[in-house]
Structure 1
Amino acid sequence: MADYKDNDSTYTEEDDKKYDCSLTQAFDQHILCYTIGGQAINYYRYGERKNCKANWENLKFCLKLKSKPIEIRKKMILEKEALKAEQKSKEKSSLDVWEIRE
C-alpha cells in the first residue's frame, strides 16, 4: 500500500483519514445500540424498539473498506453517505409520535 501512496500525486494524509472508518468506533456503536439506555431513548422518542441492523451493516461496510485503495474507498463512502441522507429524509420523526404543546 505504501507504493500506492507514493505514486499517487493527488493523495494526501487528510484523504486517508476522511475516507476511512474506525472499526473500533463502528463496533462500539453496534454494541451501544443494544444497551438498555440506547433502546430506552429510542422507545421514548419514537415509541418502538430500535433496529440495530444499520449499525451491523456499517460495521461490515467498514471491514470491506480496509482492503480497498483510496479511490475505491472514496467512491464507496460517498455513495453510502448519499444513500444514508436519502434514507434519513424518509425516517419517522419524533413529531410523528408526540403532539406539540402550545
Structure 2
Amino acid sequence: MSKLDFKKVFEQEEARLRILHPTPEDIPGCISVFDDYLGCSVIRNQVKSIYRYGKRSSCDQKLDEFKFCLTLKVMHPEEQREAWIRRRAEWWAHRRIEQSSEDVWDIRDKPLPNFPKPITTEMMQEAGF
C-alpha cells in the first residue's frame, strides 16, 4: 500500500481536474463516454488483452461511466461538471494510491530548492551568447 494519504491525493486530483476542465463544456459528453465503452469491447482490444494478460478485458468500469454520465443529464451544467470532477478525482486518487507498475515517483509538494538553477547573465556570457 502506498504511503500517500487518500484525502490529500483526492484534493490534488480535484485541483488538477478543475484546471484541465474549467467550464462545463470541457467535460466529456455521454457520446464520447459511450465510444470509450464500445472501444473497450472491440475484438482488437480484447485480443490484445488476452495476449498481454491472458484474459479478456472487463469493460464494466467504462459501462459504469456511461451510466453515470446519463444520470448527470438532469443536473445544471455546473453541477454536472462538479459531479464529474469529484468522480474522476476519486478514480485518479484510488489509482495513485494502489500499487501498479507505474509506481516510480511520488509527487512533490514543493519544488527542490534552486532547481532548476536560474540562468544568469554571467552564464550566458560564458556560453558565448
Specify the TM-score bucket, using the shorter chain as the normaliser.
Answer: 0.5 to 0.7
Kindly tell me the number of residue pairs found equivalent between the two proteins.
80
Q: Distance in 2 between matches of 1:91 and 1:85?
A: 13
Q: State how 1:14-25 maps to structure 2 within 5 Å.
A: 15-18=23-26, 20-25=27-32
> Identity of aligned pairs, percent?
25
Q: Distance in 2 between matches of 1:83 and 1:31?
A: 23
8 Å Cα contact 1:46/1:93 also seen in 2 = no
**Cα–Cα, structure 1 residues 71 and 25, in superposed 2: closer, same or farther, change >3 Å?**
closer
Shift of 1:43: 2.5
> Among 58, 69, 78, which residue is 1:62 paired with?
69
> Can you give the 5+ residue segments of structure 2 that lack an aligned partner in the other structure?
1-21, 103-129
Between Structure 1 and Structure 2, which shows a larger proportion of helix residues? Answer: 1
TM-score by length of 2: 0.52
TM-score by length of 1: 0.63
Aligned-residue Cα RMSD (Å) equals 2.3
User: Which protein, 1 or 2, shows the higher relative CO under an 8 Å CA cutoff with sep ≥ 6?
Assistant: 2
8 Å Cα contact 1:23/1:62 also seen in 2 = yes
Q: State how 1:45-56 maps to structure 2 within 5 Å.
A: 45-56=52-63
Displacement over 3 Å in runs of 4+: 91-94
